[in-house]
Amino acid sequence: MANYYCKWCGQKYSSVSSLTSGHCSKNPEIKKHALYEGSEKSQYVCKFCGHKYSSLSSLCSGHCSKSLTKKHQPTL
């Protein structure tokens, strides 16, 4: 079974429909979860500052001084 992750908070879902129907307090635009379109990895890298994290949720929980939204965002 595939896993789907929110690119803003890193939360895991079993289907795209359950992911996109949920509220996400970390999405600065529409306050809904948005699909992370990359693959599952052993490390996730912020596309703005380059910091590495062992999980998507840990990357998404931090603040990024180089991002306009002040949030880390994963590279694909």
pLDDT band at 2 (very low <50, low <70, confident <90, very high): confident
Task: Report pLDDT digits (tens) over 42-70.
Answer: 999 999 999 999 999 999 998 999 999 89
Q: C-alpha 23: how far from its chain's center?
A: 14
β-pairing, 4-5 vs 12-13, is antiparallel
Rounded to two decimals, the pTM is: 0.82
Strand partners, 35: 6
